[in-house]
Amino acid sequence: MKKLFCLIPLIFFGLLFGCNAQEQPKGDSKASITAPKKITSAQAKAMMDEGKPYTLVDVRTADEYKMIRIKGAVLIPVNEIASRAEKELPDKNATILVYCRSGARSSAAAKTLAGMGYTNIYDMGGIVSWSYDTISDYN
């Protein structure tokens, strides 16, 4: 009985101070996710004007896209980004600029892309803050 009472404090302190025989893995066991970068319209325009390759993705609805869009944008609505990205955006290291109307959908789409392993994503927010040229199907 005395041996049992002597062991109880040892077990208690072992649990309390984390005496654990298992070695903890070093680093994160999940693949590292690159967070999307938030940029302004001016920064996005400067990137576009550099002449380096990029893909501009409009994540609004088809009707919004027809009304007004940035020239060269491809339409992948936010609710379809997860199912269409790998086919339509095959290079996960390519520069991708994402926009919507005001910024909420572009943020969600950029996070989805990051979660899928895309590494060079720029969330440029909404077209409402875009003060440069646009095009429309209704001109």
14-41 pLDDT, tens digit per residue, is: 444 444 444 444 444 345 788 999 999 9
β-partners of residue 75 are 58
Residue in 97, 100, 109, 113 annotated catalytic: 100
- Residue 98 CA to residue 37 CA, distance in Å, equals 10
Q: Is 19 a catalytic residue?
A: no
Residues recorded for the chain: 139
The predicted pLDDT at position 31 comes to 52
Digit-coded pLDDT (tens) for 88-124: 999 999 999 999 999 999 999 999 999 999 999 999 9
Banded model confidence at residue 139, pLDDT cuts 50, 70, 90: confident
- φ, ψ (nearest 5 deg) of residue 125: 75, -135
For 136, other C-beta atoms within 10 Å of its C-beta total: 10
Domain borders along the chain are: 37-129
More confident call, 133 vs 13: 133
Q: pLDDT tens-digit profile of 41-90?
A: 999 999 999 999 999 999 999 999 999 999 999 999 999 999 999 999 99
pTM, whole model, 2 decimals? 0.78
37-129: CATH architecture: 3-Layer(aba) Sandwich (3.40)
Give all strands of the β-sheet with 121-126 in edge-to-edge order.
37-38, 121-126, 96-100, 55-58, 74-75
Q: Are 41 and 130 in contact (CB under 8 A)?
A: yes
Contact 95, 119 (CB under 8 A): no
